[in-house]
């Protein structure tokens, strides 16, 4: 993939403040696009858009095709004549700012959306009815399965709750009746006929999301801003994707995973990381000409302009851990589809605007797969400054800007990292010294470097350094642009309960800050 020198901001819509409970794709998102334009930026990177499941993570979604209902803007529904003000009024405990309280938001907003959908079905205009019917027709390949899955899930989740069950015991392959867990067509059809109204409501809510999102994307594109989307390589076990496509995954006859995804032990973790996602049956997918993946990428390209694929190395080889293991230690590397998958996708969709998340332990085979298709890889500045490496071999770390090739995307950090300021605050003085010397080009003491960090002088210089690099693309989490500390961290891997909650005070998106960013962008020939 070849691009001009461009730059932009990583900011997920759920992080906008100024709206009840959780950020949406309404007015605040449009104002953010306006600010990006004013700042001279041409990229807006987001996290996955799907409905969030376990741990509220966008990387554990009930569907890789569906949209997250929590992002729907309620005021926009009313303005569009698709709900009314009485339905959407928020109770006092739902706040317009502060961290996202997912429990409260889900408790309040999902019933509001259900009621709005019912109102829509009874009161919508002929034009909206036609748009809705067209949406259902165009998206039936995934929408029908998703709506059936969520309808069944809502009933059995309530039953499990009444029985005080939780966790994996409640997932469809453990809890649903066999005729439904097996996705038997006749049983699903019978369920559908008995729950027509509930299923229709689920579809209307998806219509709300996609209509709002596509209008927002069109607005951004008109302003010269491209959307960088994100999909994880794997999908959640508790998803319509696995339930409706069981032959495409490594499952037993009851739908339970035979093996699950993760990564092996390394310098950072003695037991590795056990993600728990079901693994694809790549042989079955190949026999089907990788249709599921073709459809996944094709659908995503209607929503975004670039696609970042999380854990790209899993296409070359993936870490397979027997289901039921408590850690990832007893896994093994299994060859993935490698070139054949992307050859098929390219043949059917053309050359792809994909970004390969190639972090971690990357082999020559992974590099070859990435480079043969000309996918840009990722460089993260937080991984660049190792005192041991600097003292032993000189400054030749591959994540340092002077070591880049052009076909890559540089980040100060990602959604999984500490914020840059938080990282500096927690780093050893020797490491901060190396960073400060690199971005200033002068020798200094550890005390001088620490003072620079404490005064929040290093973050702007790191952004300037990334902008000046040879990388074709440069993207910065909004937290780093404002030198926000650990309070702005989006996610801490392998933890649950405190992630994905950060919200940003959108009033800080000032004209002055926009001018600063625009000046740096133009200085280094970005976005021109």
What is the sign of the dihedral through the CA atoms of 298, 303, 307 and 309? Answer: negative
Query: Catalytic site residue 310?
Result: yes
What lies within 8 Å, CB to CB, of 391 at 6+ separation is none
Residue 338: φ, ψ to 5° = 55, -130
Maximum C-alpha span of the chain: 74
What are all long-range contacts of 294-300, with beta carbons under 8 Å and residues at least 24 apart? 294/344, 294/345, 294/348, 294/349, 295/141, 295/142, 296/64, 296/65, 296/231, 297/345, 297/349, 297/352, 298/349, 299/65, 299/142, 300/229, 300/231
Structure tokens at 432: 């901060």
Structure tokens at 427: 């780093």
| Contact of 241 with 63, CB cutoff 8 Å | yes
DSSP 79: H
Query: Catalytic site residue 516?
Result: no
What is the sign of the dihedral through the CA atoms of 29, 515, 415 and 428? Answer: negative
Catalytic residue among 305, 416, 446, 457: 416
Catalytic residue among 357, 358, 418, 480: 357
Query: Catalytic site residue 127?
Result: no
CA distance 216 to 211: 9
| Contact of 99 with 17, CB cutoff 8 Å | no
Sheet of strand 332-335, all strands in order from the earlier edge strand to the far edge: 273-278, 259-263, 317-322, 332-335
Catalytic residue among 73, 310, 358, 418: 310
Helix axes 185-194, 140-162, angle to 10 degrees: 80
- Using alpha carbons, select from 24, 110, 119 the residue that is nearest to residue 81: 119
Classify the phi-psi angles of 31: left when phi > 0, otherwise alpha if psi is within -120 to 50, otherwise beta.
alpha
Structure tokens at 269: 């973790």
Paired residues of 61 in beta bridges: 52
Q: How many residues does the chain have?
A: 528
Structure tokens at 227: 């959307």
Structure tokens at 248: 């495409």
| Contact of 24 with 71, CB cutoff 8 Å | yes
Mind telling me the catalytic residues? 310, 357, 416
């Amino acid at each position: 993939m070849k691009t001009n020198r461009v730059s932009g901001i990583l900011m997920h819509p759920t992080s906008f403040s100024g709206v009840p409970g959780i950020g949406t794709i309404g007015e605040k998102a449009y104002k953010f696009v306006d600010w990006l334009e004013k700042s001279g930026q041409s990229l807006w990177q987001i996290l996955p858009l799907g409905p969030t499941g376990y741990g509220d993570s966008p990387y554990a979604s009930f569907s890789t095709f569906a949209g997250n209902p929590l992002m729907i803007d309620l005021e926009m529904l009313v303005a569009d004549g698709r709900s009314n003000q009485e339905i959407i009024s928020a109770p006092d405990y739902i706040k317009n700012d502060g961290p996202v309280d997912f429990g409260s938001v889900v408790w309040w907003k999902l019933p509001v959306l259900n009621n709005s959908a019912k109102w829509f079905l009874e009161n919508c205009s002929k034009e909206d009815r036609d748009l809705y019917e067209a949406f259902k027709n165009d998206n039936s390949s995934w929408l029908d399965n998703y709506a059936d899955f969520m309808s069944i899930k809502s009933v059995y989740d309530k039953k499990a709750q009444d029985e005080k069950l939780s966790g994996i015991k409640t997932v469809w392959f453990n809890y649903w009746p066999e005729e439904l867990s097996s996705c038997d067509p006749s049983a699903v059809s019978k369920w559908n006929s008995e729950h027509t109204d509930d299923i229709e409501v689920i579809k209307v809510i998806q219509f709300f999301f996609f209509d709002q999102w596509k209008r927002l994307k069109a607005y951004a594109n008109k302003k010269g801003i491209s959307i960088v989307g994100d999909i994880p390589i794997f999908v959640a076990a508790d998803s319509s994707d696995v339930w409706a496509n069981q032959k495409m995954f490594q499952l037993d006859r009851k739908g339970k995973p035979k093996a699950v995804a993760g990564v092996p032990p390394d310098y950072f973790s003695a037991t590795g990381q056990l993600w728990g996602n079901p693994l694809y049956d790549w042989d079955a997918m190949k026999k089907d000409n990788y249709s599921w993946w073709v459809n996944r990428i094709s659908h995503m390209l209607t929503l975004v302009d670039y696609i970042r694929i999380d854990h790209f190395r899993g296409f070359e080889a993936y870490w397979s851990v027997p289901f039921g293991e408590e850690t990832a230690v007893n896994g093994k590397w299994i060859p993935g589809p490698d070139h054949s998958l992307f050859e098929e996708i390219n043949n059917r969709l053309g050359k792809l605007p994909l970004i390969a998340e190639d972090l971690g332990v990357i082999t020559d085979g992974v590099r070859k797969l990435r480079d043969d298709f000309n996918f840009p890889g990722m460089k993260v500045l937080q991984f660049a400054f190792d005192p041991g490496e600097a003292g032993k071999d000189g400054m030749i770390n591959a994540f340092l800007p002077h070591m880049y090739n052009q076909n890559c995307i540089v980040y100060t950090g990602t959604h999984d990292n500490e914020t840059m300021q938080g990282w500096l605050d927690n780093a050893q003085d020797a490491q901060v010294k190396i960073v400060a010397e690199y971005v200033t080009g002068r020798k200094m003491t550890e005390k001088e470097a620490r003072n620079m960090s404490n005064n929040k002088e290093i973050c702007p210089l790191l952004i300037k350094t990334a902008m000046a690099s040879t990388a074709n693309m440069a993207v910065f989490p909004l937290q780093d642009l404002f030198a926000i500390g650990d309070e702005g961290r989006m996610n801490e891997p392998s933890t649950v309960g405190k992630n994905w909650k950060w919200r940003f005070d959108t009033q800080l998106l000032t004209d002055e800050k926009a001018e600063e960013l625009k000046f740096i962008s133009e200085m280094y020939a970005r976005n021109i």
